[in-house]
Amino acid sequence: MIETPLLSVTSLHKSFAGRASLVGLLQGKPARRLTALDDVSLTLGRNEVLGIVGESGSGKSTIARCITRLEKPDRGEITFAGQDVWQARGAKLRGIRKDLQMIYQDPYGALNPRMSIGRAIAEPALVHGLIGKDGARALAYELLDRVGLPRSVAELTPRALSGGQRQRVAIARALALKPRVIIADEAVSALDASVQAQILNLFGELMRDLSLSMIFISHQLSVIAHLADRVAVMYLGRIVETGATADVFARPRHPYTAALLKAHPHLEARRSQTPALAGEIPSAYAIPEGCRFNTRCRYAETRCRLSDPPAAAFAHGHEAWCHVLPDLETHTDI
Segments making up each domain of the chain, as ranges: 7-228, 252-334
7-228 has CATH 3.40.50.300 classification: yes
Containing 198, the helix (H) or strand (E) segment is helix 193-210
Percent of the chain whose pLDDT exceeds 70: 89
Buried b (16+ CB within 10 A) or exposed e, 306-315: eeebeebeee
Burial (Cβ within 10 Å: 0-12, 13-18, ≥19) of residue 213 = buried
Give the Å distances, CA to CA, from 239 to 40, 42, 311.
6, 9, 10
Residue range 266-307, pLDDT digits in tens: 665 444 555 567 778 888 898 999 999 999 998 999 999 999
Cα 22 from chain centre = 36
The pLDDT value given to residue 313: 93
pTM of the model: 0.89
- Say if residue 329's pLDDT is above 60: no
More confident residue, 271 or 233: 233
Q: What is the pLDDT of residues 77-111, one digit of tens each?
A: 999 999 999 999 999 999 999 999 999 888 777 78
pLDDT in tens, 115-155: 999 999 999 999 998 898 889 999 999 999 999 999 999 99
pLDDT in tens, 153-178: 999 999 999 989 999 999 999 999 99
